[in-house]
């Protein structure tokens, strides 16, 4: 049995015994991190963690207290030097954002408040609502639309597909897939992000339920193939329910013919979802507004604010036109989560009625503060700048006889390879370009990533970096050519 009296005579807390020492340490942390951000350009893009650092990060569970200053020194020696590098001006791997200094401080403020933004009448709930309203305004969604902030595009897409599935047959939520006597299927291009396939698996539809529609020479969904597949599936007694259009594919940045997809969905009575993980925000740029305006016709939209809005990880967004369908797909209020007319349990409709998560951090604060700090016009200019930089990189590649593009640049992604002569076979070329990429990383020069298109390995540059400058792309081309030559000579 617990000795309650003895325990309660020696009550403890996790607050510091000496607040002045903690204050001094916190000031040092902020100063160090601001210095780190200010001088990040002088650092290598990436450094491989040392064996000592990895060994220190494999030690057993601590049992005794350690001085906070000593813990911070361990962070500076074993963690900070070996960051992924995505805040560096020459980081262009995958599609990963960079963050800003004020947003760093916003994370500090949010963590200090530490609210669970799921239920209750408190300020964080209203900040979340305001950020969602701003997202609707940015993307041209109606004020009465619904939405929720999530961890990122993967969860935003699965949330969308759950709503789309349940909109097809409301009984699905209670009865499961047995409510539909036959296979439900959805359509996406062969260039669609794998998270949409994973969503179908998690939802119990299976990966075979995702029809991979072929793409044209510009890597856009082929409309004739889409129509044919829908017709074939209906003839086979299957149940088409959704088409996923891409507002910027992850491989090449291609934008599917969204207006044509919208028309097909309307004619076929299908849910139209847009995966705009990064590319949807190009709608802010005048040159892309027309191509992306059909986003406004979509039933739902997924996109990330930690990509092309440069927010720190993690924050994505899901928007849906039909607020009632959104709520009905997730609403559940057990007795321990009841809303009240007054008191803390009053306030906005709990977010548990709009998604899977009941534990939700205050991720909207960094978005709220960043949008207020810079205003949407500056974000518009920076997105436009990233696109211009990518077209500039394309021009440099075209001028280099030993470099080859996988496809014309359409937005902010460029895929290219070093191709020294026509006689080298695909396997050798793939090995050569993989070696170039690894040396770019190991030497801390730059951090693009890679992809395979048509069986060929390409170096892939995806630019959502507000710190990049024109000369960074010149350096990428020069370093690629130099390393390619060195490898060929060795």
| 98 falls within a domain | no
Asked if residue 430 and residue 352 are part of one domain, the reply reads: no
- Asked if residues 315 and 304 have their Cβ atoms less than 8 Å apart, the reply is yes
Answer yes or no: do 365 and 402 share one domain: no
Closest by Cα among 481, 35, 462, 429 to 248: 462
- How high is the pLDDT of residue 12? 93
The alpha-carbon radius of gyration of the chain (Å, integer) is 25
339 and 479, same structural domain? no
CA distance 318 to 253: 20
Same domain, 249 and 342: yes
Higher pLDDT, 1 or 375: 375
- The residues that bridge with 140 in the sheet, in sequence order, are none
Average pLDDT over residues 40-46: 97
Q: What per-residue confidence (pLDDT) applies to 292?
A: 97
Residues 111 and 66 in one domain: no
End-to-end CA distance of the chain: 73
Q: Give the burial string for 392-413 (b: 16+ CB within 10 Å, else e).
A: ebbebbeeeeebbebbebbbbb
* Residues 422 and 441 grouped into a single domain: yes
Establish if 89 belongs to a structural domain.
Answer: no
- Has residue 282 been placed in a domain? yes
Range of the domain at 138: 107-374
Look at residues 353, 374, 395 and tell me which one is the last residue of a structural domain. 374
CA distance 475 to 413: 17
Read off the pLDDT of each residue in 253-275 and give the average, rounded to a whole number.
97
Residues whose CB falls within 8 Å of the CB of residue 107, separated by 6 or more in sequence, listed in order: 312, 365, 366
Structural domain contains residue 88: no
CA 396-248-278 angle, 5° bins: 95
What is the average pLDDT across 294-308?
97
Q: 265 and 191 in one domain?
A: yes
Judged against a pLDDT cut of 80, whether residue 422 lies above it is answered with: no
| Element of type H or E holding 462 | strand 456-462
What are the pLDDT digits (tens) for 131-164?
Answer: 999 999 999 999 999 999 999 999 999 999 999 9
* Residue 36, pLDDT score: 97
For residue 281, give the 3-state DSSP assignment: helix
Do residues 366 and 397 both lie within one domain?
no
User: Do residues 288 and 202 share a domain?
Assistant: yes
Which tokens belong to 281?
A: 């925000």
pLDDT at 233 over 90: yes
In order of 120, 170, 204, 364, the CA distances from 175 in angstroms are 31, 9, 13, 35
CA gap 54, 92 in Å, rounded: 25
Looking at the structure of the chain, the number of domains it has is 3
Q: Are residues 364 and 390 in the same domain?
A: no
Q: What is the CATH number of the domain that holds 183?
A: 3.40.640.10
pLDDT tens sequence across 161-210:
999 999 999 899 999 998 999 999 999 999 999 999 999 999 999 999 99
Residues 343 and 390 in one domain: no
- Structure confidence at residue 362 (pLDDT): 98
pTM over 0.85: yes
Q: Please, what is the average pLDDT of the chain? A: 96
2 in a domain, yes or no? Answer: no
303 and 445 housed in the same domain:
no
pLDDT, tens digit, 9 for 90 and up, residues 1-37:
788 888 898 899 999 999 999 999 999 999 999 999 9
Q: Is residue 9 part of a domain?
A: no
Q: What's the pLDDT at 335?
A: 86
Give the Cα separation of 419 and 427 in Å (integer).
12
How confident is the model over 328-357, as a mean pLDDT? 93
Percentage of the chain lying above the pLDDT 90 cut: 94
User: Are the C-beta atoms of residues 300 and 274 closer than 8 Å to each other?
Assistant: yes
Backbone angles phi, psi at 241, to 5 degrees: -135, -15
Within a domain: 352: yes
Question: How does pLDDT run across 379-388, given as a tens digit for each residue?
Answer: 999 999 999 9
Q: Where does a domain end: 329, 355, 374? A: 374
- pLDDT at 282 (0 to 100): 97
Residue 51 domain-assigned (yes or no): yes
Residue that finishes a domain, picked among 341, 374, 407? 374
pLDDT above 70: percentage of residues in the chain = 100
């Amino acid at each position: 049995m617990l000795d309650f009296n003895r325990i309660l005579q020696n009550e403890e807390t996790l607050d510091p015994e000496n607040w002045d020492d903690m204050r001094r340490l916190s000031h040092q942390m902020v100063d160090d991190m601001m210095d780190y951000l200010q001088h990040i350009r002088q650092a290598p893009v990436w450094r491989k963690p040392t064996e000592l650092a990895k060994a220190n990060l494999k030690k057993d569970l601590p049992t005794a207290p350690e001085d906070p200053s000593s813990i911070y020194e361990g962070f500076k020696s074993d963690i900070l030097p070996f960051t992924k590098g995505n805040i560096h001006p020459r980081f262009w791997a995958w599609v990963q954002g960079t963050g800003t200094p004020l947003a760093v401080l916003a994370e500090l403020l949010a963590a200090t408040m530490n609210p669970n933004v799921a239920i209750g009448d408190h300020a964080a709930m209203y900040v979340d609502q305001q950020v969602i309203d701003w997202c609707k305004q940015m993307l041209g969604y109606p004020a009465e639309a619904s939405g929720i902030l999530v961890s990122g595009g993967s969860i935003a897409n699965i949330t969308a597909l759950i709503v789309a599935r349940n909109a097809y047959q409301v009984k699905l939520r209670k009865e499961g897939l047995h409510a539909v006597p036959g296979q439900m299927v959805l359509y996406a291009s062969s260039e669609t992000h794998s998270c949409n396939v994973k969503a179908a698996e998690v939802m119990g539809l299976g990966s075979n339920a995702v029809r991979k529609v072929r793409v044209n020479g510009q890597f856009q969904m082929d409309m004739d193939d889409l129509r044919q597949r829908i017709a074939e599936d209906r003839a086979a007694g299957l149940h088409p329910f959704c088409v996923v259009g891409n507002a910027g594919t992850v491989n090449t940045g291609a934008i599917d013919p969204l207006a044509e997809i919208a028309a097909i969905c309307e004619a076929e009575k299908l849910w139209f979802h847009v995966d705009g993980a990064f590319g949807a925000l190009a709608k802010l740029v005048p040159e892309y507004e027309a191509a992306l305006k059909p986003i406004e016709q979509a039933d739902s939209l997924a996109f990330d604010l930690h990509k092309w809005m440069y927010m720190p990880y993690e924050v994505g967004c899901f928007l849906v036109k039909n607020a009632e369908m959104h709520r009905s797909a997730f609403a559940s209020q057990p007795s321990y989560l009841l809303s009240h007319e007054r008191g803390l349990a009053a306030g906005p409709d709990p977010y548990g009625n709009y998604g899977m998560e009941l534990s939700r951090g205050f991720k909207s604060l960094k978005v709220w503060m960043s949008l207020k700090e810079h205003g949407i016009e500056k974000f518009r200019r920076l997105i436009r700048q990233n696109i211009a930089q990518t077209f500039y990189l394309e021009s440099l590649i075209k001028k280099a006889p030993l470099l080859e593009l996988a496809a014309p640049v359409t937005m902010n992604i460029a895929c290219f390879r070093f191709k020294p002569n026509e006689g080298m076979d695909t396997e050798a070329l793939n090995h050569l370009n993989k070696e170039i990429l690894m040396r770019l990383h190991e030497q801390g020069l730059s951090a693009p990533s890679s992809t395979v298109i048509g069986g060929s390995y390409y170096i892939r540059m995806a630019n959502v970096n507000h710190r990049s400058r024109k000369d960074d792309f010149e350096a990428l081309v020069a370093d690629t050519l130099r390393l390619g030559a060195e490898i060929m000579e060795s």
